[in-house]
């Protein structure tokens, strides 16, 4: 009985050893096998494994026939894992290493898209009222990246989506300027508020913020005692935005009430207005 048990144990070990020997370790895979495993993982939406295989492929076969494609697909897998920092870094690296690659426009597009996504924090997604007070730098950078894509590659298949995102980004940046202008109104910095309205008028024509920019100018110039400028802004507001919330049914201007809000608390003063 003992002899049978020993024989069975030995046989089992031999079978397991044979099975393990038949499976190639990652370091023993060919370049093509790495790539095929990565593609299979992507098809199964297993982007973590796909990313690992693509990085292994590039590490072991940096000058192989799949190396450049692996770099492109790594950008995608990192983006799908919501690792925007890594996706951005991979896109910028590809642009730097392969500026003449036939698919480099994809890297330009993914660079802009990664920065675009980085611009949305959890707070900004769920509290839209705070959007105007958040740092607009990522949105401005994303806009510039998309703009570079369109200028460099006017026939790129990614331009249509890039252009749609640019429209949103312009609107978002204009809303930021309005938010800053309203902040100045609360601090009774009327000239600074009026200038923010003017900036929107000059740089962000066609956005949803233009009406608010005119309303900001009407009130700010009135408080500065510049009647002509105030009436001019009001005339434009009535002509172009007759349904604006700061116009009543008779077309009379309704003050925003921002100047009456006392927000200069001790905490607000100590934090230079960053915390209210």
Q: Where are the domains of the chain?
A: 28-81, 87-157, 176-276
Which of the pair, 47 or 4, is modelled with greater confidence? 47
The values of phi and psi at residue 247, to 5°, are -120, 130
pTM of the model as a whole: 0.78
Given CATH 3.40.109, say whether it is the number of domain 176-276.
Answer: no
Per residue in 51-79, pLDDT tens?
A: 999 999 999 999 999 999 999 999 999 99
Average pLDDT over residues 212-232: 96
Q: How confident is the model at residue 180 (pLDDT cuts 50, 70, 90)?
A: very high
DSSP-derived 3-state class of residue 247: strand
Average pLDDT over residues 115-142: 72
Neighbouring C-beta atoms of residue 105, cutoff 10 Å:
20
Which phi-psi region, left, alpha or beta, contains residue 195 (left: φ > 0; alpha: ψ -120 to 50)? alpha
Which helix (H) or strand (E) segment is 269 a member of?
helix 266-270
Q: Does the structure show a pLDDT above 80 at 187?
A: yes
The crossing angle, in degrees rounded to 10, of helices 104-118 and 137-152 is: 160
Q: Which of 23-27, 78-82, 84-88 has the lowest mean pLDDT?
A: 23-27
């Amino acid at each position: 009985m003992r002899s049978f048990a020993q024989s069975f144990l030995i046989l089992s070990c031999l079978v397991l050893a044979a099975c393990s020997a038949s499976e190639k370790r990652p370091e023993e895979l060919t370049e093509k096998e790495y790539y095929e495993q990565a593609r299979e993982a992507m098809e199964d939406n297993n982007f973590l494994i796909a990313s690992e295989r693509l990085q292994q492929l590039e590490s072991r076969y940096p000058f192989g026939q799949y190396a450049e494609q692996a770099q492109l697909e790594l950008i995608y897998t990192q983006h799908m894992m919501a690792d925007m920092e890594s996706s951005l870094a991979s896109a910028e690296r590809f642009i730097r290493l392969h500026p003449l690659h036939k698919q480099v426009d994809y890297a330009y597009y993914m660079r802009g898209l990664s920065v675009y996504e980085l611009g949305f924090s959890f707070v900004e997604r769920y509290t839209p009222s705070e959007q105007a007070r958040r740092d607009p730098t990522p949105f401005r950078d994303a806009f510039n990246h998309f703009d570079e894509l369109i200028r460099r590659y006017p026939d790129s298949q990614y331009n249509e989506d890039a252009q749609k995102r640019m429209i949103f980004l312009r609107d978002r940046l204009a809303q930021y300027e309005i938010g800053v202008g309203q902040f100045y109104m609360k601090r009774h910095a009327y000239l600074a508020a009026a200038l923010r309205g003017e900036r929107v008028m000059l740089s962000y024509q066609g956005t949803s913020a233009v009406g608010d920019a005119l309303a900001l100018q009407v009130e700010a110039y009135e408080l500065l005692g510049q009647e002509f400028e105030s009436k001019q802004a009001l005339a434009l507001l009535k002509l172009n935005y007759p349904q604006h919330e700061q116009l009543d049914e008779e077309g009379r201007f309704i003050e925003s009430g921002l100047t009456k809000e006392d927000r200069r608390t001790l905490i607000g003063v100590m934090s230079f207005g960053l915390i209210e």
